[in-house]
Amino acid sequence: MDGGAREGTSGRAFWDPAWGAEYLDDFKALSSFGATAGGGVDRQAATPEEAATRTWFAAWLEDRGFTIAYDRIGNLFGMKETVRGAPYILVGSHLDSQPLAGRFDGAYGVLGGAHAAHRAGLALGGQEPRFNLAVVAWFNEEGSRFKPSMMGSSVYTGTIPLEVALATTDRHGVTVRDALALTQQVGDDDVLALDRIAGYVEMHVEQGPDMEANGIVIGPVVGTWCAYKYEVCVTGAQSHSGSTPMADRRDALLAASHLVVELNGLIDEFETEELHTAVGELNVLPNSPVVIAREVRLLMDIRARDTATLRRAFASLEQRITAIEARTHCTIEIISKSTWESGTFPEGGVQLTAQLADELGHTNASTVTLAGHDATNMNEKVPTVLFFVPSVDGLSHAEGELTSDEDMVAGLSLMTNVLHRLAGEGIPTVY
Nearer to its own copies, 15 or 225 (CB): 225
| CA pair distance 45, 369, nearest whole angstrom | 23
The tally of CA atoms less than 13 A away on the side-chain side of residue 240 is: 4
**Span 303-362, contacts to its own copies by CB under 8 A:** 303
Beta strands 295-304; 219-224: pairing state: unpaired
CA distances from 67 to 62, 82, 225, 422, 427 (A): 6, 11, 35, 21, 26
**What DSSP string runs through 69-125?**
EE-TT--EEEEE-SSTT--EEEEEEE----TTB-SSTTHHHHHHHHHHHHHHHHHTT
Closest approach, Cβ 111 to its own copies, in A, equals 20
Closest approach, Cβ 288 to its own copies, in A, equals 4
Per CB under 8 A, the segment of 10-18, 74-82, 200-208, 376-384 that binds its own copies is 200-208
User: Which helix (H) or strand (E) is 308 found in, with range?
Assistant: helix 307-328
Nearer to its own copies, 11 or 289 (CB): 289
Nearer to its own copies, 251 or 407 (CB): 251
- Binding mask 211-240 toward its own copies (x if CB under 8 A, else -) reads --------------x-x-x-------xxxx
Identify any residues that bridge with 226 across adjacent strands, giving them in sequence order: 304
Query: Which phi and psi (to 5°) does residue 381 adopt?
Result: -120, -40
The tally of CA atoms less than 13 A away on the side-chain side of residue 423 is: 37
The tally of CA atoms less than 13 A away on the side-chain side of residue 24 is: 14
Nearer to its own copies, 182 or 267 (CB): 267
CA-based nearest residue to 115, from 247, 216, 242, 203? 203
DSSP single-letter state for residue 423: H
**Span 102-161, contacts to its own copies by CB under 8 A:** 142-144, 147-149
Per CB under 8 A, the segment of 158-166, 172-180, 206-214, 403-411 that binds its own copies is 206-214
8 Å CB contact between 179 and 46: yes
Per CB under 8 A, the segment of 19-27, 94-102, 176-184, 355-363 that binds its own copies is 94-102
Position among 168, 183, 207, 384 found at the interface with its own copies (CB under 8 A) = 207
Identify any residues that bridge with 92 across adjacent strands, giving them in sequence order: 136
Nearer to its own copies, 149 or 183 (CB): 149
Q: Answer yes or no whether residue 281 interacts with its own copies by CB under 8 A.
A: yes
Nearer to its own copies, 114 or 254 (CB): 254
Nearer to its own copies, 294 or 362 (CB): 294
Nearer to its own copies, 10 or 283 (CB): 283
**Span 282-311, contacts to its own copies by CB under 8 A:** 282-284, 286-294, 299, 301, 303
**Span 244-273, contacts to its own copies by CB under 8 A:** 244-249, 251, 253-254, 256-261, 264, 267, 272-273
Q: Answer yes or no whether residue 94 interacts with its own copies by CB under 8 A.
A: no
Closest approach, Cβ 216 to its own copies, in A, equals 15
∠ CA 74-139-427, nearest 5°, is 100
Position among 48, 125, 158, 280 found at the interface with its own copies (CB under 8 A) = 280
Beta strands 88-94; 132-138: pairing state: parallel
Count of residues that bind its own copies according to CB under 8 A? 74
Q: Answer yes or no whether residue 242 interacts with its own copies by CB under 8 A.
A: yes
CA-based nearest residue to 88, from 66, 63, 56, 58? 66
| CA pair distance 276, 55, nearest whole angstrom | 37
